[in-house]
Copies of this chain bind each other. A is one copy, B any other.
Amino acid sequence: MPLLAASVACAPALAQDAKAGRIKASSQCAVCHGQDGIAQLPTAANLAGQQEMYLVKAMQDFRSGARSNEMMTVVAKALSDADIANLAAWYSSIKVTVQPPQ
């Protein structure tokens, strides 16, 4: 079965990252940002469907102190580069559709 094994090993890395990100998001981010990335607090951002690069930069900026927020400044300090990549993969994988008011 070497061919099958090879095809499994070459499964898209993004899916793995998103899955790990979903698990971490569920335990550490969902209280404020919602299980599906829709904010639960008026001062929190919707993360669902944000672009991966934007999300990575936001978390890096909170971690470095370039961007400041009472909650995120604390939370981001504990995020590794892998955590940030996984969380960005997860939130950016959520499809968003918009409906402007008439």
Contacts and interface: CB of A to CB of B under 8 A. Distances in A.
A1 to B, nearest CB: 26
Interface residues of A, number: 31
A99 interface: yes
A30 interface: no
Nearest to A37: B98
Each complex incorporates copies of this chain amounting to 2
A99 B97 CA distance: 8
A57 interface: yes
Contacts of A18: 101
Contact of A99 (B42, B52, B95, B101): B95
A20 interface: no
A48 B46 CA distance: 9
